Amino acid sequence: MKIFPWNALAGVVLLSQAIGAATAPAAPPPAEQLSQALRSLDANVLPADLRERSVRMLRDAARSGVRAVNQRDREAWAKIRTRSDWEKWRTPRLEALRESLGSFPPKPADLHERITRTLEGEGFRIENLVYQSRPDLLVTANLYVPAPPRVKMPGILLVPSHHNPKVQGELQDMGMTWARHGCLVLVIDQLSYGERRQHAAGNRQDYRFRYINGIQLHLIGDSLMGWMVCDIMRGVDVLLRREGIDRDKIILIGSVAGGGDPAAVAAALDPRIACAIPFNFGGPQPETAYPLPADADETFNYLGSGSWESTRNLRRSGSDGFLPWLIVGSVTPRRLIYAHEFSWDRERDPVWKRLQQVFAFYGAQENLAFAHGGGVLQGKPPEATHCNNVGAVHRKMIHPVLERWFGIPIPQEYQNRLPPDNLQSLPLESKPRPLHELLSEIGADRAAAFRAQLQKLSRTEQRRVLRRQWASLLGDIEPRKPRVLRHTTERIALNPPLDVERIALETEPGILLPILLALPGQRSIKPPVVIALSQHGKGRFLSDRTGTISELIEHGVAVCLPDLRGTGETSPAGTRHYRSEATSVSATELMLGRALLGSRLQDLRSIVRYLRSRSDLNARRLALWGDSFAPVNPSDLVDPLIDEGQPPEQSEPMGGLLALLGALYERDVRAVVANGTFPAFQAVLRDRFCYVPHDAIVPGALTAGDLCDVAAAFAPRPLRMARLIDGRNVPMAAEDVRQLLSPTLNAYRRIQTDFQLLPNTDSDLASWFLQALRP
């Protein structure tokens, strides 16, 4: 990759020379001697007791946040006495729910519905069809139609579980059974399932792809839940456009294991849905201990907690108060069947008590019913009523309720399952647009729209707008005044000596930041500071970047090696892959209205504040060095099935991301190095696969321009980027990088100052820092 030396360095001037003759006259120690001393350092700062606490601090902070949300919710519920109280409390939370899901395109005049095949059955027919829920996004579905049609037909929309697509046997049974008894029944494929799959078929691949879809949708400012809900709403349109439909009898059933989540949200937001039957959402989950404790009213986790499945832990649900039970309760006064796959502790379920009260506010107690199975998740059939979507035992409880409410006769269950190929809706010649291409286009359009507005402003105003917009996405990023818990200094006998300080800061209760600060032992001036950041932490800088660090110290620069929360010494045990504790914590943080990258930016800014408070450092001359030590994947990587065999290497772009974002907010930063990171978040949308840690994602990033706009705002200060990667953790080609970084390149060209774009080398990095930090 070419270097862009628009204002070529006129030779590197050593910082010690620039400072003048006041520096120590003694000759610097041999570079290798200093490097050996750095490599031999113990990178750990915290004693054993604090280290044990620090590896739990992210989990503890997340759990504390969940407890606080639940307590606020209990206190607020206790004050709700009337229907008016309820509606005043519910309405803004539903508005917040809709906003958290992302953008909903206007209802289209044309759904582009097409029937591709019709199958005749015994008292019913099946129409294999497709419709468009968003521009260029096809939904495949089967519509079960009574034969002959009735005059006024209830409409039932079935949302499958995350186990299988629309052709699964239980879905066929329900479609045929209810159609034979006069209902129009629409069964859809969820996003990336069945015929909407754009990846190789394999064991639970549709299910596992929910993680990738979720983080890619987050980047463009949307959500997997939002897109699923939009599919459902357009499915309601399909039903309502059918001749003979009874518009007052639209019933939405969300299957166990992931179907109930979008069904509940869609029903809360779409008043056309007359009845909702969401399984396993809003109250006790299959994983919840059964029976519930006697004090469940006070101890039940109404919010839930984060996991890799984004539909079960909605972003900002905790901070903005739209907890799952409230979403379900918002169906009131329409009809609701509160449904559970396994045994249900009716007497102690605190959500059931709340739902009864909410329906009572409207005098609509008759509009609330329930269905449940038996046994527990860990049990085996027949005692445990495991099912794929909605089992026969659950339907047996649903049928009498639907007869009472809608006049649907209690049916004789019918079963004549067809081969899956018979229910395929897409014509063989049809090739739906790849989802990642659609997301990439939407993301690019949104970033460009923001950028166009930005370009109308002065550079000062551009920075102000960027700071405000990114702060709204990252959460609380304002620096704290840290408390020094430990501070020791070790002098290493070199000539001149090396001082190593071990510092433990507490930035908020329970959040510990261990720091290793290495600086020249003899200094007649206040040294500037380079802060080095990486997910892997200070230990890897000492072992893998020793030469650069020793050269900086040798020439009068202090090097600060912090471990931000959950990095380095404070990293939780285990992997950082999509099913890890790290992902669960990051997802919980999103529920609480925070992004972990934003919390780490706050840590960085708090450390800068600490350094600025010291009289022996020149923290008005800072440089940020973000790096990654994660191995990359080869350019010819063949993506394996998810969780099958050896997984590809996952990227760790945090260091470079924080270096760029830190420079946006900290005015004393004189230079930035961002290595081993993305040139832009747009790079994560280049392929259907991506290997990116959950905590590196900023929901809505592409609604605020992109990283290239943040980098452009740093001009005219020196910036250097190297070893840039895409979402698959593959090194990017020079031309692709230049295209994504065009706003940055244009900004530095106009100002004709130092921006270096390098391929796979860290050579002369220390010299570059020294040049950039000259007075």
Place of tokens 């606020």: 72
Whether 506 shows a pLDDT value over 60: the answer reads yes
- CA 426, CA 432: separation in Å to the nearest integer? 9
**Where does the pLDDT of residue 386 fall: very low under 50, low under 70, confident under 90, or very high at 90 and above?**
very high
- CA 722, CA 584: separation in Å to the nearest integer? 30
Place of tokens 């946040």: 65
Query: What's the pLDDT at 33?
Result: 86
- CA 466, CA 444: separation in Å to the nearest integer? 17
Helix-helix angle 707-714:459-474, to 10 degrees: 140
- CA 253, CA 153: separation in Å to the nearest integer? 17
Whether 5 shows a pLDDT value over 70: the answer reads no
Helix or strand holding residue 473 (H, E): helix 459-474
Paired tokens of 658: 């924080």
Omega of the bond leading into 420 within 30 degrees of 0 (cis):
no
- CA 613, CA 611: separation in Å to the nearest integer? 5
Question: In terms of Cα–Cα distance, which of 146, 225, 156, 220 is closest to 188?
Answer: 156
Q: Which amino acid is at 147?
A: A
* Collapsed DSSP state (helix, strand, coil) of residue 324: helix
If you average pLDDT over every residue of the chain, what do you get? 92
- CA 539, CA 530: separation in Å to the nearest integer? 16
pLDDT tens column, 645-674: 889 999 999 999 999 999 999 999 999 999
Paired tokens of 679: 């040139």
**Where does the pLDDT of residue 487 fall: very low under 50, low under 70, confident under 90, or very high at 90 and above?**
very high
pLDDT tens column, 573-610: 889 999 999 999 999 999 999 999 999 999 999 999 99
pLDDT tens column, 233-264: 999 999 999 999 999 999 999 999 999 999 99
Distances (CA, A) of 515 to 567, 611, 696: 12, 11, 22
CA quadruple 313, 339, 90, 291: dihedral positive or negative?
negative
Across 502-511, average pLDDT: 95
Question: In terms of Cα–Cα distance, which of 15, 769, 213, 118 is closest to 424?
Answer: 118
Half-sphere exposure of residue 315, counting CA atoms within 13 Å on the CB side?
29
Lowest-pLDDT range of 14-28, 166-180, 186-200, 538-552 = 14-28
Q: Are 184 and 144 in contact (CB under 8 A)?
A: yes
- CA 279, CA 263: separation in Å to the nearest integer? 9
Length of the chain: 775
**Where does the pLDDT of residue 27 fall: very low under 50, low under 70, confident under 90, or very high at 90 and above?**
very low
Q: Tell me how crowded residue 365 is: count the other CB atoms within 10 A of its CB.
A: 11
Distances (CA, A) of 195 to 158, 222, 423, 424, 570: 16, 23, 10, 7, 44
Question: In terms of Cα–Cα distance, which of 219, 167, 170 is closest to 193?
Answer: 167
Q: Are 101 and 699 in contact (CB under 8 A)?
A: no
Question: In terms of Cα–Cα distance, which of 249, 256, 245 is closest to 278?
Answer: 256
Lowest-pLDDT range of 51-55, 145-149, 240-244, 736-740 = 51-55
Paired tokens of 481: 């005044």
* Collapsed DSSP state (helix, strand, coil) of residue 540: helix
**Where does the pLDDT of residue 753 fall: very low under 50, low under 70, confident under 90, or very high at 90 and above?**
low
Q: Tell me how crowded residue 432 is: count the other CB atoms within 10 A of its CB.
A: 17
Lowest-pLDDT range of 215-224, 306-315, 368-377, 379-388 = 306-315
Query: What's the pLDDT at 71?
Result: 98
Query: What's the pLDDT at 470?
Result: 98
Helix or strand holding residue 275 (H, E): strand 275-278
Which residues 6+ apart lie within 8 Å of 480 measured at CB? 507, 508, 602, 606, 609
- CA 279, CA 328: separation in Å to the nearest integer? 11
Radius of gyration of the chain (CA): 29
* Collapsed DSSP state (helix, strand, coil) of residue 391: coil
DSSP string, 662-687: HHHH-TTEEEEEEESS-S-GGGGGSS
Which residues 6+ apart lie within 8 Å of 576 measured at CB? 535, 582, 583, 650, 652, 693
Across 39-49, average pLDDT: 91
Residues facing 504 on adjacent strands: 486, 514
Whether 2 shows a pLDDT value over 60: the answer reads no
Residues facing 368 on adjacent strands: 336
**Where does the pLDDT of residue 30 fall: very low under 50, low under 70, confident under 90, or very high at 90 and above?**
low
- CA 174, CA 156: separation in Å to the nearest integer? 10
Distances (CA, A) of 440 to 221, 541, 608, 681, 698: 12, 34, 36, 10, 16
Omega of the bond leading into 333 within 30 degrees of 0 (cis):
yes
Q: Are 73 and 302 in contact (CB under 8 A)?
A: yes
Lowest-pLDDT range of 197-206, 288-297, 651-660, 749-758 = 749-758
Whether 700 shows a pLDDT value over 70: the answer reads yes
pLDDT tens column, 421-452: 999 999 877 788 899 999 999 999 999 999 99
Helix or strand holding residue 33 (H, E): helix 31-39
Omega of the bond leading into 716 within 30 degrees of 0 (cis):
yes
Half-sphere exposure of residue 57, counting CA atoms within 13 Å on the CB side?
26
